[in-house]
Amino acid sequence: MAVRLLEGVRVVEFALLEAGGVGTVLADLGADVVKVERPGGGDYIRQVGWPFVNGVSLMHHHLGRGKRSLALDIQRPEGARLAARLVEASDVVIEGMRPGVLARRGLGSAELRERHPALVWCTVSGYGTTGPYAGLAAHGVAFDAWAGGLRLGTDERGFASAELNVPLGTRVAPLLAASAILAAVLRAARTGRGCAIDIAQAEAAASVDWLTIEGHRAHLRPATEVTGNPSDGGVRREPGTAGMGDSVRYQVYPSADGHVLIMATERKFWERFCHAVERPDLLGDTPGGEVADHALGDHRLRAELTEIFRTRDTAGWIRLGLTADVPIAPVNSPATLPADPHFAARTPWLPAAEYGADLLPLPVHLEDEELARPSPAATPGQHTDEVLTSLGVPASELAELRESGVLG
């Protein structure tokens, strides 16, 4: 049975580019998300990024799904009044522009929340609404650069370069914002009191890497107070995954056709692995600590494991992990992941025939139910008449507004 967990919740989205991801999460969960766009081209996310599918950016196909599009010129007084009317009939507003843009048009949080006390208002911006960078222009990778997520280097021509596997700020902020919005909606339902939420994409990037950031902070304290893990001899390593470099039992190894990651840092897992590969001799006199023993710096053992892992393909090592109860994972890339059998079993693509491009669904699974599928991304203003008619705007007024250019 297909369900909409947020059925009956109306969200108004004033957002550009990836800030619209907040509305995508809520739409995937069943909310009625109305995206207010400027007449004409609408949100220019349709023209940015790559690749383009049938002339439209893949980013729009993904982030625009599940939403209705209202083409409305909020710079015009008539348009601003209609937008305010829509907000007053809604539960949530997503402001995904530079702070202050809506306020200058009489559509600010303070003014509209005074008229609608239960309204939940969520502002999503690069650096937040306060602080010295609040007004600084930026795009997505800036937030990961701010949070310390770029790996800096030099290319073959001597130019500075940077690597980033996944831009976390713009990807995590929608999940963080959606969680806060839903908590606020629950409170508003109980008390009638909404709130204003301020989410910075830069801080979202930092929050994901909390262990590394907090680890560096901890290392500012004396070594007598903050050490490494005692199971590894107590030596301080680089915080976070940067400290994995000299690990042995928690390490990536080449398989016969790719790579696998073994994580046998508990003694029970290491013993099971050694017996499963018929190499009990590897236990030797040092079977490892009970937990968190990475065999740090044991290069002889690492060389042995390198040869062992080359003897089977990745699928074979996963079978061994399942049968012997050893934590072994395949190392995929974004290109190879769809061929992984576990991905195929749990991730039904939203198909290109319906959505314009093959899209990943929201990874939320329900027992005995399933989330209703979102609608494809809208063309600019596709639902203008539908949305405004539901507010009681008569057809004659719609025609006049369209003629004057207020509507798209």
pLDDT digits (tens, 9 = 90+) for 337-354: 999 999 999 999 999 999
| CA 56 – CA 52 distance, rounded (Å) | 5
pLDDT of residue 263: 94
pLDDT of residue 134: 87
Name the more confident of 241 and 144. Answer: 144
Size (the chain), residues: 408
| CA 94 – CA 255 distance, rounded (Å) | 47
Residue 161's pLDDT band (boundaries 50, 70, 90)? confident
Q: Quick check: 285 pLDDT over 70?
A: no
Residue 239's pLDDT band (boundaries 50, 70, 90)? confident
pLDDT of residue 237: 86
Q: Quick check: 99 pLDDT over 80?
A: no
Peptide bond into 361 cis (omega under 30): no
Residue 8's pLDDT band (boundaries 50, 70, 90)? very high
Average pLDDT of every residue of the chain: 93
Contact 37, 196 (CB under 8 A): no
Q: Quick check: 97 pLDDT over 80?
A: yes
- Chain CA centroid to CA 133, Å: 23
| CA 379 – CA 377 distance, rounded (Å) | 7
Residue 289's pLDDT band (boundaries 50, 70, 90)? confident
Per-position b or e across 207-243, b if 16+ CB within 10 A of its CB: bbbeebbebeeeeeeeeeeeeebebbeeeebebbeeb
Q: Quick check: 136 pLDDT over 90?
A: no
Q: What is the pLDDT of residues 186-233, one digit of tens each?
A: 999 999 999 999 999 999 999 999 999 999 999 999 999 999 888 888
Residue 110 structure tokens: 């303070």
| CA 100 – CA 181 distance, rounded (Å) | 20
Count of Cβ atoms closer than 10 Å to residue 139 Cβ: 12
- Chain CA centroid to CA 378, Å: 22
Q: Which amino acid is at 295?
A: A
CA distances from 74 to 71, 187, 384, 394 (A): 9, 30, 13, 19
Q: Quick check: 59 pLDDT over 80?
A: yes
| CA 302 – CA 320 distance, rounded (Å) | 19
* Lowest-pLDDT choice from 6-15, 150-159, 170-179, 252-261: 150-159
Q: State the average pLDDT over residues 277-291.
A: 84
Residue 163's pLDDT band (boundaries 50, 70, 90)? confident
Name the more confident of 295 and 94. Answer: 94
Q: Is the pTM of this model over 0.85?
A: yes
356: Cβ contacts below 8 Å, ≥ 6 apart:
53, 54, 56, 61, 376, 377
CB < 8 Å & 24+ apart, contacts of 353-359: 355/61, 355/65, 356/53, 356/54, 356/56, 356/61, 357/53, 357/58, 357/61, 357/62, 359/61, 359/62, 359/65
% of the chain with per-residue pLDDT over 70: 99
* Lowest-pLDDT choice from 111-120, 269-278, 288-297, 349-358: 288-297
pLDDT of residue 286: 67
Name the 3-class secondary structure at 113.
Answer: helix
Sheet strands (E) in 216-360: 250-254, 259-263, 328-330
191: Cβ contacts below 8 Å, ≥ 6 apart:
none
